[in-house]
């Protein structure tokens, strides 16, 4: 199959990119924004040997995860996804069947979340390399940021943590499924913005310890973990604190907010309190928690 034929096949299976003026096939995709909306942009790479292995991850899992990571960033700002672009490089030995299955995994999630694939790039490389770009929107001035947490705010998370790390270690059961098929918390993100007026939010991609550290740094506050710790069943405290790729939302709400048990079908739990203090510092029962989550650039 030539590049032109492959692009034509992707264009057909992607369907018409609803809401786009022009989708796959020209030099650029064209998008007509609505008045009053602010646009959110995120990019996320997913690389063979770094983020996944071909032996353990099916092509459809990889396609799903590539898009889910980007959608999770949109959810973290309370956004509604508008469209996505995909840059994909694969070895020249990659079969049409692998590619078809990869695109099916990605496009199934794209359809379910109304995030049409509107363009991208195709190339060859030694290792499978995906870069997903997702555009989302919120009413102007309302996007949730990392930097708005204030002393006294409640620190909360959605779902349970540590499941993805447990699954990665055991390769079985619900935890492994959790690792393979993360679910972006899009509806929750919108409700955190609209109803709970969250003061800050981010998604948990690298692990609670480093991500909460980052949120606290951005908000120039510290954090005390003094609430419940909603662990994924079977996950260790290490997996809970430092395991990455849960793609749950970490957010803060004002003290006065009465937290419901769940939002949009997802349990939410208060895990701590924002404090005035050394920016970025995270404590659990007076013990300092070092940011141990995944950092691509930490010197080994």
Q: Contacts with a second copy in 181-240 (CB under 8 A)? A: 202-203, 214, 217-218
- Contact call for residue 289 and a second copy (CB under 8 A): no
Among residues 248, 262, 111, the alpha carbon closest in space to that of 191 is found at 262
- Contact call for residue 292 and a second copy (CB under 8 A): no
| DSSP sequence for 2-15 | -HHHHHHHHHHHH-
φ and ψ at residue 97, rounded to 5 degrees: -65, -45
- Residue closer to a second copy by CB (options 5, 194) is 5
- Contact call for residue 260 and a second copy (CB under 8 A): no
Contact segment (CB under 8 A) with a second copy among 40-48, 59-67, 255-263, 264-272 equals 40-48
CA-to-CA separations, 249 to 77, 135, 262, in angstroms, rounded:
10, 19, 13
How many binding residues for a second copy (CB under 8 A)? 72
- Contact call for residue 44 and a second copy (CB under 8 A): yes
Q: How far is the CB of 172 from a second copy (least distance, A)?
A: 27
Out of 124, 172, 195, 276, the only residue in the binding site for a second copy (CB under 8 A) is 124
| DSSP sequence for 164-196 | HHHHHHH--HHHHHHHHS----HHHHHHHHHTS
Beta bridge partners of 135: 41, 83
Which DSSP symbol is given to 114? T
Determine how β-strand 80-90 pairs with β-strand 200-203.
unpaired
Residues 133-162 that bind a second copy (CB under 8 A): 133, 135-136, 140, 143, 145-147
Question: Could you give the CA distance from residue 275 to residue 224 in angstroms, rounded to a whole number?
Answer: 7
Among residues 271, 253, 152, 300, the alpha carbon closest in space to that of 212 is found at 271
Q: How far is the CB of 228 from a second copy (least distance, A)?
A: 25
Residues 60-119 that bind a second copy (CB under 8 A): 73-74, 76-77, 79, 85-87, 89, 92, 118-119
Q: How far is the CB of 175 from a second copy (least distance, A)?
A: 24
Question: Could you give the CA distance from residue 65 to residue 58 in angstroms, rounded to a whole number?
Answer: 11
Out of 15, 16, 43, 174, the only residue in the binding site for a second copy (CB under 8 A) is 43
Contact segment (CB under 8 A) with a second copy among 42-50, 178-186, 221-229, 253-261 equals 42-50
Here the tokens at position 110 are: 């794209």
- Contact call for residue 271 and a second copy (CB under 8 A): no
- Residue closer to a second copy by CB (options 122, 259) is 122
- Contact call for residue 261 and a second copy (CB under 8 A): no
């Amino acid at each position: 199959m030539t590049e032109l034929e492959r692009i034509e096949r992707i264009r057909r299976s992607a369907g018409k990119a609803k809401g786009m003026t022009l989708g796959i096939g020209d030099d650029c995709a064209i998008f007509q924004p609505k008045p009053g909306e602010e646009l959110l942009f995120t990019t996320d790479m997913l690389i063979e040997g770094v983020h996944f292995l071909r032996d353990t991850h099916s092509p459809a899992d990889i396609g799903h995860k590539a898009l889910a990571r980007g959608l999770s960033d949109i959810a973290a700002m309370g956004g509604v996804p508008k469209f996505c672009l995909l840059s994909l490089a694969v070895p020249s030995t990659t079969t049409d069947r692998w590619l078809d299955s990869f695109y099916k995994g990605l496009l199934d999630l794209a359809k379910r979340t109304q995030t049409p694939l509107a363009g991208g790039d195709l190339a060859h490389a030694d290792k499978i390399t995906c870069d997903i770009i997702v555009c989302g929107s919120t009413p102007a001035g309302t996007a949730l940021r990392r930097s708005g947490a204030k002393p006294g705010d409640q620190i909360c998370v959605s779902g349970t943590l540590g499941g993805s790390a447990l699954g990665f270690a055991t390769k079985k059961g619900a935890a492994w499924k959790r690792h393979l098929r993360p679910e972006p918390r899009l509806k929750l993100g919108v409700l955190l913005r609209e109803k709970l007026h969250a003061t800050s939010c981010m998604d948990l991609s690298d692990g609670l310890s480093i991500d909460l550290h980052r949120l606290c740094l951005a908000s120039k506050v510290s954090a005390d973990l003094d609430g419940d710790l909603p662990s994924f069943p079977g996950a260790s405290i290490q997996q809970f604190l430092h395991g990455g790729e849960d793609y749950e939302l970490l957010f803060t709400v004002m003290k006065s907010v009465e937290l419901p048990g769940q939002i949009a079908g997802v349990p939410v739990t208060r895990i701590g309190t924002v404090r005035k203090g050394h920016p970025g510092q995270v404590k659990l029962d007076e013990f300092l928690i070092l940011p141990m989550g995944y950092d691509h650039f930490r010197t080994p």
